[in-house]
Every structure is written in C-alpha cells, then in structure tokens.
Amino acid sequence: MFMPKSDVVIIGSGLAALVAANRLCMEKNVIIFTKSSKYNSNSMLAQGGVAAAISSDDDWSTHFNDTILAGCGHNLESAVKALVQEGPRYMEELIQQGMQFDKDEAGRIKLGQEGAHSIRRILHAGGDATGKALVQFLLKKLCNKVQIIEHELAIDLIVNDGSCVGVQTLDEHSQLTSYYANHVILATGGCGGLYEHSSNDHSIVGDGYAMAYRAGADLIDMEFIQFHPTLLYVNGHCPGLISEAVRGEGATLVTKNGRKIMEGQHPLLDLAPRDVVARVIFEEVKKGESIFLDITMIENFSSHFPTITSLCKRNGISPSDGKIPVVPGAHFMMGGIKVDSYSQSTIPGLFAIGEVACTGVHGANRLASNSLLEGIVFSNLMADFILSQATRPVSQKALRDERPTVQSKNQLPTKEEIKEMMMKSVGIVRSKRELEEVVMVLEPYIQLKPKELHFNKEKICLLNMITTAWLIASSALHREESRGGHYRADFPDVNKVWDHRTITRNALEHAVVN
C-alpha cells in the first residue's frame, strides 16, 4: 500500500498556509493539499488589507484596544498582544522579501481606514486586491520548493495512539491515500459557504472544523460568526463583497429614498462595528427596505476600488450611478479549533492556523483587516515553533480502504436546505426555539463517518457542512446572551459597555464542544 510521508502536511492553500510553508520549506519537506484549485481561497478574495500599527502616529496598544473593543472583551488578551506587537515586524519582513503594498506620491505606504479602527492603519495592495497580491507573491516564492496537490479532498485526520500522524485524502479519481507527517496543519479556512448569503469562496464550507471534531479535537466559540454588512446584492444573490474600505472613504448606507440608516444608531455611524451595522441593515430589510451604499462622495472610485468596480460591472451595476445595492452575509468565523499560542490543537501533532483556528484574538467580533494579520503572525510563530522541535516518531499503521459494499441509505439534507436553514435560524438574529430546531434536525447525521458515505466526495462535503452547522447551532444555543457576532433575540441586551479589564473571555463558561 502506498503510504507517502513528509515532514509537514498542510491542508488548505490560503494566506496562512502559504506563510507557514514559506517559513518551513527551507528545512522541511512540505506538502500542501487543497480540495479545489490553489486559487480558491478566501484570502484570494480579501479586499480589505492588513491592519498593523506601522505608522509613527500609531502604536500597538491602540491597535490592542481597538481589537478588544470590537471583540466585546471576549478576546484572549495574550493572543491579541502577540498579534499587535509582532504584526509590524512580520509586515516589515514581508516588505523586505519584496511584497509591494500601495504607496502615496511621496513613496510612503498608504494607510487606509476601516470600521472600529481609531486610526488609519490598513496596508493595501492593488487597491482592493490585497489578499490576491499576497497569495500570488507567496506562490511565486514557493514555486518548486513545496509540492501543492490540487483537487484532492482531505477527508479525515489519522490519529494513532492519541496523536495526529497524517491525513487520509480522496483524489479526483476517488482514490484514497493516507499521507503521514510529523506535523499536520489545518488551514482550511472558515465556513461562510454554510449560509445563503456569504462573501466566501464557494468551496469554503467548514471541512476543517468537521474533520477536527471527528478526530476528537476541542473547538471553541463556534457561535461567533461575523456577518459583513455589505455584500453586493443582485437578483437575490450575493456575488461578492463591497469592502468596508468603501465606507472608510466616506460611503454611507441609505434607503432607496436616501435616508441614512446609521444615523442615531451608533456614535461611529457607518463605521460602527460590523455586528451593529449588519443588524441595522437586517432590521431595515425585514421592514421591506432595500439598502444601498451611497458612494457619490468618493472621487476616482474605479481607480481606488478596481476589484469592486469590475465585480459591480460584471453583475450589471454601474458604480458611476453612485448607489450599490447591499445586504449583510456570513463573512468570518471567530471561533474554531482551539489552539495555544503556537497554534497547537488539543491533539498532539495537529496544528491549526488562519480562520479555522481559534487563537482567541478576535473575541466575539473580529476587527476589520485583523484576519490577514492573524494568518501572517500566527503562521510564522507556529513555523518557528515547529522548526525548534525535535522530529517525533510517526507510527504508520496502514488505513484500509474499507468501502461498504452497498451504498449508504442515509438521505442527507441538501446543500440548499442547509444554507437556507442557517441563514434563517442561525444567522444575524437567533432564538432558542429556532436553534433547538436546527440542532434537532442535524444531530442524527453527526455520527456518520466518510466510510459510511462510501467515500463519496459530495456527500463527505455535505457531512462536513452538517457537522459544522450543528457545532455552530449547538454553541449558539449554549450562549444565553448577545455579544458581538452572536445575537439572541431572547437575550437582547447589547447595551453594556464591554470593558476588557472586567469582562474577559473566562468570565463566562464558553462552549467547548468535544
């Protein structure tokens, strides 16, 4: 039986994966797997940039406070400190390696403004194409240094004697392979694709959470999903994101008749934290309003926001008309696989980085442009940790291709049913009754294994969707309060002023689901 072995296996090909591979590949043999193409990741779609306190007017403590305030005090302070203190150093390192960020006429790095940041501190590349520029830069650097295997789905982690020693994959020809490695890194991104309205790449449906759950890893804070206020909305669909940087440059949210909907809602108006803005839009839409971004005040919109301009045009919207139709949609998972400061999960040998991991930095609501920074900082810290470790023995017990001879009779809910249910009952506004119903509908499928689904790729992805949806709904049911990205209509008091000195992540028993 073919049982390939490498030092490091990384599952996923977004920014966090590429940063880790870039640091590890000089000393380690690295294989990257991705279930679709290496260009299908949320990082590729990231329009907002990287938040880092690099300006002389800024400092890490201001970035720290903004992160904690946006996170409603649920953040793990030591992780936030690592993020904001190490961030500028790793950004400088990327720039030294040749990464080009946008500059002003004087040749200084241009810093943008986004919601809930108290100062301009967002680095962009290609205007609104920062994620794509970073991915392309790193892919070029990695060329011929790491093996990137595309269109191969990781279906389960291999755990022997309590340690993760590899991953079982399914290729395009339904061939199963067990890859063994000293270090297995999940970098599979989030789960926006579980929702009808989402900014995420269509392939991002929560595979990493489901695999980690099946393997027995702890997951944490799964109820905290960030709904981005402004997804382009055309004919009932959301073909992409309209970056918060557009509001950063002055755009306002208005009704068809031009009423500014954020007036009287929050002192920061259109740049209030995302959960606040998303809920205001949600309530307006519920009342039958259509909501638009008024961009008439932004000069040279198309050169400032080329990606958004072409997204609008491809979908029949002309930015020169001055109004872009928007709705909120699932954008980012703040929770995930519970990891320590070196991205180690609760299973030895298994690491998690990027959105699939919960380092604790984002708390209950992520501050804009902190996600690419998290990918950069924690992947580097993890890579340095791995490089400092002695190689551990890996027991390669062969997994057999045990396919049942008859097809499973399990009739899983469809993708569309799951997305509709999540949007309606585990979305921007939640309640006990609806959450209980979702948990009850999904629970019967959770114990299924890929083997029982005859290693059918579509069905395994559906099982992953169901498992992750169930994890979110059960965690949301458990948390009887409203905080950040988790809003319970039956516990609506969000008017507390979250103070990180008195309300910490540990002040509440939070949902650790395993």
Binding site for ligand SIN (CB under 6 A): 47-48, 243-245, 368-369, 371
Q: Which one, of 330, 303, 366, 372, lies nearest residue 128 by Cα?
A: 303
Whole-angstrom distance, CA of residue 265 vs CA of residue 267: 7
Residue 331 near residue 227 (C-beta atoms within 8 A) = yes
Nearer to ligand SIN, 282 or 305 (CB): 305
State the DSSP code for 389. S
Q: Closest by alpha carbon to 252, among 306, 304, 195, 293?
A: 293
CB of 513 to ligand SIN, least distance (A): 25
Quote the DSSP letter at residue 494. -
DSSP one-letter string for 49-99: -EE---STT--HHHHHHHHHHHTTT-S-HHHHHHHHHHHHHHHHHHHHTTP
Q: How far apart are CA 55 and CA 6, in angstroms?
A: 41
User: Rounded distance, CA 3 to CA 431, Å?
Assistant: 48
Smallest distance, Å, CB 113 to ligand SIN?
Answer: 11
Which one is catalytic: 121, 247, 274, 430? 274
Between 43 and 371, name the residue whose CB sits nearer to ligand SIN.
371
Output the CA torsion 452→458→460→465 (10° steps): -130
Q: Which is nearer to ligand SIN, 30 or 373 (CB)?
A: 373
Alpha-carbon distance of 156 to 469, in angstroms, equals: 18
Of residues 48 and 73, the one with the C-beta less far from ligand SIN: 48
Nearer to ligand SIN, 30 or 70 (CB): 70
Judged on CB neighbours under 10 Å (0-12, 13-18, 19+), 236 is exposed
**Minimal distance, residue 197 CB to ligand SIN, in Å:** 15
CB of 433 to ligand SIN, least distance (A): 31
Strand order in the sheet with 219-220: 219-220, 336-338, 357-358
Contact between 191 and 213 under an 8 Å Cβ cutoff? The reply is no
275, 348, 338: which is closest to 505 by C-alpha?
338
Min CB(198)–ligand SIN separation in Å? 12
- Min dist CB 7 to ligand SIN, Å, is 32
Task: Give the nearest distance from C-beta 331 to ligand SIN in angstroms.
Answer: 6
Task: Determine which helix (DSSP H) or strand (DSSP E) holds 19, and give its type and residue range.
Answer: helix 15-24
Residue found under tokens 């209950």: 364
**Is residue 483 flagged as an active site residue?**
no
Nearer to ligand SIN, 22 or 47 (CB): 47
User: Is 178 or 369 the residue whose CB approaches ligand SIN more closely?
Assistant: 369
Nearest-approach distance from CB 445 to ligand SIN, in angstroms? 31
The tokens of 415 are what?
A: 């993708």
Q: What is the rounded distance in angstroms from the CA atom of residue 340 to the CA atom of residue 350?
A: 11
CB atoms within 10 A of CB 287: 7
Residue number with the shortest CB distance to ligand SIN?
48
* Separation between Cα atoms, residue 15 and residue 422, nearest integer Å: 27
Enzyme catalytic residues: 274
